[in-house]
Amino acid sequence: MAISAVRPRARAAFLNRSQWMGILFLAFGVAILLFFGRGLEPGQQAKFGLNPGWVSQAIPIPDLVLPVQPTIYILGSIALLLGGWQLARGFRSADAVLGVIAICFVVAFLTWAARGKSFNLVGMLGSSLVRATPIALAALCGVVSERSGVVNIAIEGIMLLSAQAAVIVATITKNLYLGLGAGILTGAIFAAIHAVMAIKFKVNQIVSATAINIFATGATSFISARFLEKNIDRLNNSGTFPVIPIPLLSKIPLLGPIFFENGIIVYLMLILTVVVHIVLFYTPWGLRTRAVGEHPRAADTLGINVFLVRYVNVILGGMIAGIGGAYFTIGSVGRFDEIMTAGKGFIGLAAMIFGKWNPFGAFASSLIFGFADSLQIKLQILRVPIPSEFLLMAPYLVTMIVLAGVVGRAVPPAADGEPYEKQ
């Protein structure tokens, strides 16, 4: 009798995911009101600039001015209302509601941070897209590779090697496009090495990729210290790609400065996102790739060359990562610094998981990481009363929260990471 009385109570102590999400929504609402709603002066306003802070072809529009106190109270109340509904009835798609509440939290935070000041919203969103570019390219590399069943955590090292190769070639030849080609070729070479190790020799894919990352860190640091620092003008001063405004589209208010006034690597990232999605889900090659990633033996039975599909996808992924690596030098600052990728390749892997191995999902996830990265810089300019160390941690905190599974279960391809033995 004692045991039977304890069991229902023990079961009741465990909440299901829907109830946990409701509690999380309520916590967001309380946090908005508690952290941002206290100590506000009545009548304070926050001004959000809707025009870029640089010379732009976009048609100017009036700035957005919000009353601080009512805005924060409304956003906090929305979060509390959605949390109560989630606990009482439950939403069909709690993840979508979580996205709405996250937006409420971010808007409330920005309104609080910009109280009594002016905040260039378009500038920050444009910066978010630019900062998301290498992360999105790393995520696309992961999607292409892992959809065929090969885990590639060497993206960080491949990007680092490609960044250095791109700036050296661009500086020597004084041609940025040749530098970009060198970055892509470097990515393909090291991805091919990983593919041979993982597919032909069946080395543990994590170990193989880790070896490339370690090699990349050591090799690029040695070359940088031994050659680049002593010959900056001859080897490490390439310049960067210019901004190319797209005719007509760049004149659109808000969207024009964000999406259509960028460098060529940002455009390549946007194009590749669409192309990879179409290839993966609407072409015979994509069907073969997904079949190999899910059940390679069944695909082999149907006549698909499993090894060829995996080799091609891993190398294509390496070429995409090579573009991401080139972004750091010839697409951004025009020189190479040691460890300048700063973990963006690993964050790209988190974006791939967050996006559930889907190109558009990975791109959207990359925007979140890019936004967190851009936000910490803007907040330092606004001098918000938060230690700069915490602001610098923002992108990595977002990564940890994502990987902790807040967004729900992410299921990888069934044969991801498993070597294939033909029988």
Q: What letter represents residue 253's amino acid?
A: P
Beta bridge partners of 148: none
For the chain, percent of residues with pLDDT exceeding 90? 63
Going by their DSSP bridges, the two strands 244-245 and 118-120 should be labelled as: unpaired
Average pLDDT, the chain: 89
Tens digits of per-residue pLDDT, 118-129?
888 888 899 999
Could you tell me if 68 and 48 are in contact, meaning their C-beta atoms sit under 8 angstroms apart? no
Tens digits of per-residue pLDDT, 106-152?
889 889 888 888 888 888 899 999 999 999 999 999 999 999 999 99
- What's the pLDDT at 102? 83
pLDDT band at 374 (very low <50, low <70, confident <90, very high): confident
Tens digits of per-residue pLDDT, 295-311?
999 999 999 999 999 99
Q: What letter represents residue 110's amino acid?
A: L
Tens digits of per-residue pLDDT, 170-215?
999 999 999 999 999 999 999 999 999 999 999 999 999 999 999 9
Per-residue pLDDT at 423 exceeds 80:
no
Higher pLDDT: 267 or 60? It is: 267
- What's the pLDDT at 209? 95
Tens digits of per-residue pLDDT, 57-84?
888 889 899 999 999 999 999 999 999 9
- What's the pLDDT at 16? 78
Higher pLDDT: 421 or 321? It is: 321
Going by their DSSP bridges, the two strands 45-49 and 64-67 should be labelled as: antiparallel
Give the C-alpha separation, 180 to 158, whole Å: 14
DSSP conformation class of 196? I
Give the C-alpha separation, 322 to 155, whole Å: 9
